[in-house]
Amino acid sequence: MSTLIRRTPADLLAQRDRLLAEVHMTADELRDRAEVHTLSARELAVWHTIEGIDYLLGG
């Protein structure tokens, strides 16, 4: 049986903001560091989550 989790755009934006605060970076800083492969394992996990959130938000 599958589980479906529903999130509003506001929920996703709040989660995105919390994740960025956890790694003490802006989305641009995180993306720039991801491009040059200088993220820790935790930061990389946050980056992948941010990418997913952005995809869901249509951006």
Q: What is the pLDDT of residues 3-39, one digit of tens each?
A: 888 899 999 999 999 999 999 999 999 999 999 999 9
Q: How many C-beta atoms lie closer than 10 Å to residue 44's C-beta?
A: 16
> pLDDT band at 59, cuts 50/70/90?
low
Domain ranges, ordered by start, for the chain: 22-59
Mapping DSSP onto H, E and C, the string for 1-59 reads CCCCCCCCHHHHHHHHHHHHHHHCCCHHHHHHHHHCCCCCHHHHHHHHHHHHHHHHCCC
> pLDDT band at 2, cuts 50/70/90?
confident
What pLDDT was estimated at residue 5?
A: 83
Instruction: Determine the average pLDDT of the residues in 46-54.
Output: 97
